[in-house]
Amino acid sequence: MSNARKIIACMLTVIMVLGMCTTVSAAGLKITRQPENAVSAEGNTVIFEVAAEPADNVTCQWQQGVLQKTDGDAEPVYTWTDIPEASGARYEHKVTAADLSGNVYRCKVSMNGEEVYSEIVAVTAAGILPVLMSKDSTSITVQTLRGQEYTIYTGDVLPADTEWKNGEGSVTFTGLTPSTEYRIVSRAAASDSSSAGGPGKALVVTTAEEPEPVADVQPEETDMQTDEPNTQTEEADGPTEEPNTQTEEADGPTEEPNTQTEEADGPTEEPNTPTEEPPVLPDMPKLVGRTDTTLEVEMNEGQEYRIDQKEWQDSGRFEGLSPDTEYAIETRMKGQGEETPVSAPLRARTMKPGAGAPEMPKLVFAGVDTIEVKAADGAEYAICEGRAVPDQQWNWQISPVFSGLKAATEYSVAARIAGAEDQMPGAVSELLIVSTGKYEAEPLGRPELISVSDTRIEVTAVSGQVYAIYEQSTMPEGLNWQSSGVFEKLHPNTEYRIVTKTPETAEYKESIVSEALVVTTQKTPTKAPEAPKLTDRSQTVLEVEKKNGQEYSIDGGKTWQTEGRFEKLKAETDYEIVTRIKETSTAAASAASQPLKVSTLRNPIETGAGQNKIMGISNGQIIKVNKNVTFTAEGGGMKIEDPIDGDVRYVPVKWQGISEGTWKKAPYTATVKAAKSGTYTIKVTFDRQVYKNGKWISEGQDDIKSVQLKATATGRAAVKTGDETQGMLHLILLAAAAGAAGIVGAVMKKQRRT
């Protein structure tokens, strides 16, 4: 192994060892006990704890995370700050309204420069006491609030595996047991930024008693009941006494019991056969809603309803009732007369009336996206965007904190005394009208310079920002702000300061003014000179006349040079060359002249002899004796326009064959005819010419192109006989065989050489 390879191997070994050491160090510190989410009310104290291994030389620092504006990001983004004096494994925290609106906590555990973070925990408010809407023997319906979920259970302990439900406006728990005490609780549902809250106070509800079954009304069964005993005793010598127990008023047993077993001459007696179906009673009405003055049951198609034995009606809703009063509601099928069976009565009580309106909510805090009002005992709160309408639909909540609101938006906040199991919510208070604040605009950097002249400065203009300019070292009041970054009509050779800011918008406050960009305008320029004059050009070079005190540019003024010669250009490309007076100690550079528009030369066209051709006739063409045949010669490169040095072309100069002649100029056309039958070859000579010093010069190199013609008396090919065809075929086969033999011989000869 070479020394270099040994060094590389040693370095790789060291790197691997260091990497393993780092991994062991990082893996040595870990959190063995994570903090847990807490459920509490504002003002209470919750405790977060962590434990780590190893336990020695470990420091803890608790941090608070504030949810930032995420613009729809999938994962929430928090700004973390250390909590003063919260540097132990146990942290006691007093719950604030902000905690219940999204603030989170974590612990940073450190040891020997290594850091690990605990899981993120949050404080959630306990659930809201549910409001009963209706109940019967097997179901309970409660009112739902947005963001809350509900569950039901029996006993004093909430099961760990209970199923939580939510719904729009209400949720119904079915399949319950009659006359059983149930507990219903709610909690805040989990969201993208927080886990589910803790259960609140339980609403205790006892299901109604199971309705007594209504006995079916059966027809008299005396005949039918005596029928069966007789059919079972026909085999005895005589009827038993039992079948006649229902007919003892007669002197002896009747013959009717035997009518179904005897083959009488006529039909059996009808009284022994049931003729009417027992009446079917409709189900007892099911309560679906109630207030202090209304009761409403579920409506079924084809049924009608009444309350307290009053008039029947199609609707299952009864209004204008007395608060806290029990009523009996029945149902039956419509249109079947007074004998229609009536259901068992549903006994339901209207709720107690709600309390009066509380005081108008008092504002505690109004932020960019949060509004908090002062909490009152037994009250609940609601908010809507803008001014509430008379029939405003509110979403009520126990918490007096509203988060996730729009910035710089007006809201209406209402309060009322919360309802209970059998009591309506209170009247709505007078509305508190409050607006959220605006976001603080981010500070801006100073403007970026684009260009400066003696009377003009331009900076990069950013959408949504405005710009101003001033001469003094101190920014004056009353600046003229503009969205454009261009400032004109300035004084030459003067120092200016340019600042920017973002104006106030619907959601953001006006930003503070940025740091100033200091720019000094240029000196006054002299008059622009005339456009440059071309002195030379080629495929890669353009040169203009050079004048003292001037400089030249070929890239639109981006770069300047004192020489008028530009090299390493692209052939056959358009360029613009400008000039200006150079800057001096007393004057700025002049403006650029009018451009000289010029193109580099193209590369020479080196025409090949393969482009020479004879047109009008084709090789092997059959012509008629004594008939004129016209052809045209065309040389390659003859169509070159604006020739340059090095261009090559071919010019037809003469022809020979059936006849001969020369050309001095275009058109290069000739007419020939054959005097007798035979094969003729027409040859055309092309002169190769090169363009030099403004003219075409012959180099004495000719190219000859030829065409073979066959003249016949008819102008058509002679017809060959079959024997001739066979003979020709024989010759072709012999030639092919000879060619194959030659190839084999050549291969064998090559092998012998090898």
What is the spatial distance between Cα 364 and Cα 700, in angstroms, rounded to a whole number? 107
Per the prediction, the chain carries an average pLDDT of: 83
Cβ of 45: how many Cβ atoms within 10 Å?
10
The pLDDT value recorded for residue 401 is: 94
The pLDDT value recorded for residue 66 is: 85
* Superfamily covering domain 609-719: Immunoglobulins (2.60.40.10)
Considering only residues 576 and 70, tell me which one the structure prediction assigns the higher pLDDT: 576
Q: Which amino acid is at 751?
A: Q
Q: Sign of the CA dihedral 655, 661, 667, 673?
A: negative
The pLDDT value recorded for residue 201 is: 81
The pLDDT value recorded for residue 277 is: 62
Considering only residues 66 and 650, tell me which one the structure prediction assigns the higher pLDDT: 650
The pLDDT value recorded for residue 489 is: 94
Per-residue pLDDT tens digits for 301-327: 999 999 999 999 999 999 999 999 999
The pLDDT value recorded for residue 242 is: 45
Q: Is the pLDDT confidence value at 194 over 70?
A: no
Q: Sign of the CA dihedral 159, 160, 161, 163?
A: positive
Q: Which amino acid is at 65?
A: G
Q: Which helix (H) or strand (E) holds 4?
A: helix 3-28
CB 138 within 8 A of CB 127: no
The pLDDT value recorded for residue 737 is: 53
The pLDDT value recorded for residue 227 is: 42
Residue 124, burial from CB neighbour count under 10 angstroms (0-12, 13-18, 19+): buried
Q: Is the pLDDT confidence value at 249 over 50?
A: no
The pLDDT value recorded for residue 462 is: 95
The pLDDT value recorded for residue 753 is: 44
Nearest of 368, 372, 370, 500 to residue 440 by alpha carbon: 368
Of the candidate ranges 142-146, 189-193, 444-448, 586-590, the one whose mean pLDDT is the lowest:
189-193
Averaged over 732-754, what is the pLDDT? 47
Confidence of residue 353 (pLDDT cuts 50, 70, 90): very high
The pLDDT value recorded for residue 187 is: 87
What is the spatial distance between Cα 355 and Cα 499, in angstroms, rounded to a whole number? 60
CB 121 within 8 A of CB 155: no
Q: Is the pLDDT confidence value at 466 over 60?
A: yes
Residue whose entry in the numeric block shows the structure tokens 């072709």: 732
The pLDDT value recorded for residue 44 is: 82
Cβ of 469: how many Cβ atoms within 10 Å?
20
What is the spatial distance between Cα 653 and Cα 591, in angstroms, rounded to a whole number? 58
Considering only residues 744 and 117, tell me which one the structure prediction assigns the higher pLDDT: 117
What is the spatial distance between Cα 750 and Cα 754, in angstroms, rounded to a whole number? 6
Considering only residues 176 and 717, tell me which one the structure prediction assigns the higher pLDDT: 176
Considering only residues 212 and 171, tell me which one the structure prediction assigns the higher pLDDT: 171
Per-residue pLDDT tens digits for 567-586: 999 998 999 999 999 988 66
Q: Where are the beta strands (DSSP E) in 446-571?
A: 449-452, 457-459, 466-470, 486-487, 495-501, 517-520, 534-537, 542-544, 550-553, 565-566
Q: Which amino acid is at 265?
A: D
Within 8 A by CB and 6+ apart from 266, the residues are none
The pLDDT value recorded for residue 735 is: 53
- 112: three-class secondary structure by DSSP: coil
Per-residue pLDDT tens digits for 18-51: 333 333 334 578 999 999 988 877 778 889 999 9
Considering only residues 747 and 395, tell me which one the structure prediction assigns the higher pLDDT: 395
Averaged over 460-468, what is the pLDDT? 96
Q: Is the pLDDT confidence value at 264 over 80?
A: no
Kindly provide the b/e burial profile for residues 63-97, where b requires at least 16 CB atoms within 10 angstroms of the residue's own CB.
Answer: bbbebeeeeeeeebebeeeeeeebeebebebebeb
Kindly provide the b/e burial profile for residues 344-379, where b requires at least 16 CB atoms within 10 angstroms of the residue's own CB.
Answer: bbbebebbeebbeebeebeeeebebbbbbbebbeeb
Confidence of residue 609 (pLDDT cuts 50, 70, 90): very high
Nearest of 433, 438, 443, 434 to residue 506 by alpha carbon: 438
Q: Report how far Cα 578 is from the mean position of its chain's Cα atoms.
A: 51
The pLDDT value recorded for residue 371 is: 95
Q: Spell out the alpha helix ranges (H) of 193-256.
A: 222-232
Cβ of 742: how many Cβ atoms within 10 Å?
10
CATH for the 363-435 domain, from 3.30.930, 1.10.20, 2.60.40, 1.10.10: 2.60.40
Whether pTM > 0.85 for this model: the answer is no
What is the spatial distance between Cα 532 and Cα 527, in angstroms, rounded to a whole number? 15
Q: Is the pLDDT confidence value at 177 over 70?
A: yes
Nearest of 135, 132, 102 to residue 120 by alpha carbon: 102
Which pairs from 337-342 meet CB under 8 Å and 24+ separation? 341/279, 341/280, 341/281, 341/282, 342/281, 342/282
Per-residue pLDDT tens digits for 481-526: 999 999 999 999 899 999 999 999 988 999 999 999 999 998 887 8
Class of CATH domain 534-599: mainly beta
CATH for the 26-124 domain, from 2.60.40.10, 2.30.31.70, 3.30.70.260, 1.10.357.10: 2.60.40.10
Q: Is the pLDDT confidence value at 747 over 50?
A: no
Confidence of residue 240 (pLDDT cuts 50, 70, 90): very low
The pLDDT value recorded for residue 74 is: 59
Confidence of residue 664 (pLDDT cuts 50, 70, 90): very high
Q: Which amino acid is at 269?
A: E
Longest Cα separation, the chain: 162
Tokens of 135: 């109940």
Q: Is the pLDDT confidence value at 600 over 80?
A: yes
The pLDDT value recorded for residue 339 is: 80
The pLDDT value recorded for residue 220 is: 45
Averaged over 88-105, what is the pLDDT? 87
Residue whose entry in the numeric block shows the structure tokens 């008039």: 311
Q: Where are the beta strands (DSSP E) in 693-728?
A: 695-712
What is the spatial distance between Cα 358 and Cα 364, in angstroms, rounded to a whole number? 17
**Domain 131-206 sits in CATH 2.60.40.10:** yes
